[in-house]
Structure 1
Amino acid sequence: MLIQRLTIIGVGLIGGSFARALKRARVCAEIVGCGRQLDNLQEALRLGVVDHYTTDLATAVQDADVVVVAVPLGHIASVFATIRPILAPHTIITDVGSAKASVVADAYQELGEHICRFVPGHPIAGTEKSGVAASFASLFENRRVILTPLAETDPQATALITQLWQHTGAEVVSMSVEHHDEVLAATSHLPHVLAYSLVDTLAQMEDRREIFRFAAGGFRDFTRIASSDPKMWHDICLANRTAILHVLAHFNADLAELADAIEQGDSAHILSIFSRAKTARDKFSG
């Protein structure tokens, strides 16, 4: 066994899938789940995702080797503040938050002397589903996990978290907090903002029933992520607002350029944009 006791605070899609993957790899002797929704924790136990569960944070982290914080970004500071007095000196803390600057700020504010055992992380994986029932062991296979260790982070702590993620089948990469938030604003946060906005716009149109009645596969593919947890993405937008606004402004400028080309009937420019986009998308999709 790599570690004896792992505690997951927030046993949802990501936390639950992490637990399932580590159980499959047999690297944890015991996995404890913690959260506020008793029915979700009971389901986690029934599904074999966790070995024990509790709704009490202090009980959950006591004597843990690793604590994984997998709650919405808006709740991370309060979790850090609550667990700080109970954490053992050897306990390593990590998270799965999609915006790292806000999490790191919360860690500096609330973790105190435990900051050297904190390894910020973010798995680039997920679905539009939520809750432990949506979790599955292969979620992270052949996906990337980004770690953004701090100057104070103990290299041994980073090495252990790296090993845990590798046991899930993920590729682990490291980058700065700032670079992470810039990249994710463009590749993850902006697409979610656009999907939510498009669906909301169409849903408010007078002939919305007719619009959704005739929506085909392209609409479903493009808007799938608008079925993601609204609270989670609300928190992400606020936590990474500067980077999101920057890339959104860039997108708005390009969209205005395309709108102008359509208005002017500029066939060559429209075709150039679409062709360039197809080439980039085909290269990305392999």
Structure 2
Amino acid sequence: MKGNVVIVGLGLIGGSIALAIREQHQEAHIIGLDVSMRTLETGLELGVIDEIGESLLIDAKRADLLIFCCPVKETEALLRHLPKLKLKDTLIVTDTGSTKAGIMSCAEKLKERGITFIGGHPMAGSHKSGVTAAKRLLFENAYYLLTPFEGEDEKRVSELRAWLSGTSAKFLRLSPAEHDEITGMLSHLPHIIAAALVRQTEGFTHLHPSAFQLAAGGFRDITRIASSDPRMWTDISLSNQNVLMGQLKSWKLAMEEALQMLRTGDRQAIYQFFDEAKEFRDTLPVHKGAIPAFYDLFVDVPDYPGIVSEVTGYLAKWEISLTNLKILETREDIFGILQITFQTEEDRSRAKACIEEQSDFLCYYEE
């Protein structure tokens, strides 16, 4: 497809979308806008964009596709300026925000002008940030949620999907309200709970200092989403405020029921509590969902100098990139556990085959 693609916000998400569009639509001209000139210059040097834009007021008029890849509140503010501009009748505007109700409300004026706006939310990310971390296949096999206005021309939705086909994502259509309810339950609420649990543990470690060391391993893993960018999650929480308030009230009731079970010592109720959770959790799909998946490989390794560099050397030979590596200090025998995290399931599978081919170390997953 030909045309000018204007991307506002050239970070990890914006840069990765730019690379995906470039791969699939080589005749497209990609223009970048960002508050940081340094970011734009880096994006130009890396070939992520073709041109550094001047401003939204100027470059929106040239756009055939305009993508907002910035925080939700910033996107809402910028959307309010668009209806005042002279835009192409064929323009498609979309975004990548984690909440949709406020953004869709701000896009109403565009709709009244006859300009197509289709909400978007690619459900993938990385522990890295910025345009230098952008990857063409960041969204591969991840869900890419679309929230068009009711009654939107299907040809326009198909056109946007065609523009974004290089992401290799799985597109799913939702209403804005359904989107915010689902992502609230599956992504936003877990982040709040994880952060609250970590904060509670911080106070607990003051009373029991040994707990700080013992929190390594399992506890650190189940709360890893609490390490997400606090600025971003402040923005998301406020953008989905009403939904989250309702869900937190339901969570509070569930915790009160758990407290009552323990207070009365109801063995059957406690068993049912854990059994029903296990049964449902075991039926959940393994592929990418609302929270980016963590592809961990566990390797039993002997304790001798250079073992970590030996394993990473195996991976380097096969040109397999890892995103995180740590030694779990929870074993008392002569073997340790090396936990290696990868960006994709494919990388993890290749790493397992790589290490097993070049060593006698035991490698395994834990789903």
Question: How does the TM-score come out when normalised to structure 2?
Answer: 0.71
2-structure distance, mates of 1:201, 1:173: 37
Q: Is 1:68 the counterpart of 2:67 in the alignment?
A: yes
- Residue aligning to 2:298: none
Greater Cα radius of gyration, structure 1 or 2: 2
2-structure distance, mates of 1:279, 1:55: 55
Alpha-carbon distance, 1:265 to partner = 3.2
Alpha-carbon distance, 1:49 to partner = 1.8
| Contact 1:202/1:208 (8 A) holds in 2 | no
**CA shift in 2, pair 1:276/1:221, >3 Å:** same
- Residue aligning to 1:24: 23
Alpha-carbon distance, 1:54 to partner = 3.3
2-structure distance, mates of 1:50, 1:209: 50
**CA shift in 2, pair 1:160/1:267, >3 Å:** same
- Equivalent pairs, count: 284
Q: Is 1:214 the counterpart of 2:214 in the alignment?
A: yes
The runs of 5 or more residues in structure 1 that have no matched partner are: none
| Contact 2:2/2:25 (8 A) holds in 1 | no
- Which amino acid in the other structure matches residue 146 of structure 2? L
Q: CA-atom RMSD, angstroms?
A: 2.3
* Mapping of residues 84-103 of structure 1, within 5 Å: 84=83, 85-103=85-103
**CA shift in 2, pair 1:91/1:281, >3 Å:** same
Out of 52-61 and 178-187, give the one that drifted further: 52-61
SS in 1 for 2:70: coil
Offset from partner CA, 1:60-107 (integer Å, 9 cap, x none): 323111000111111122211334414322221001111111101111
| Contact 1:63/1:87 (8 A) holds in 2 | yes
1-structure distance, mates of 2:114, 2:190: 32
- Residue aligning to 1:43: 42
- Residue aligning to 1:200: 199
SS in 2 for 1:78: helix
Offset from partner CA, 1:241-284 (integer Å, 9 cap, x none): 12112222212211222233233333332222222222222211
2-structure distance, mates of 1:47, 1:29: 17
* Mapping of residues 168-207 of structure 1, within 5 Å: 168-205=167-204, 206-207=206-207
The runs of 5 or more residues in structure 2 that have no matched partner are: 287-367
2-structure distance, mates of 1:50, 1:163: 19
SS in 1 for 2:6: strand
* Mapping of residues 1-286 of structure 1, within 5 Å: 2-27=1-26, 29-54=28-53, 56-84=55-83, 85-109=85-109, 111=110, 113-114=112-113, 116-151=115-150, 153-205=152-204, 206-207=206-207, 210-286=210-286
**CA shift in 2, pair 1:15/1:103, >3 Å:** same
Question: How does the TM-score come out when normalised to structure 1?
Answer: 0.89
| Contact 1:7/1:68 (8 A) holds in 2 | yes
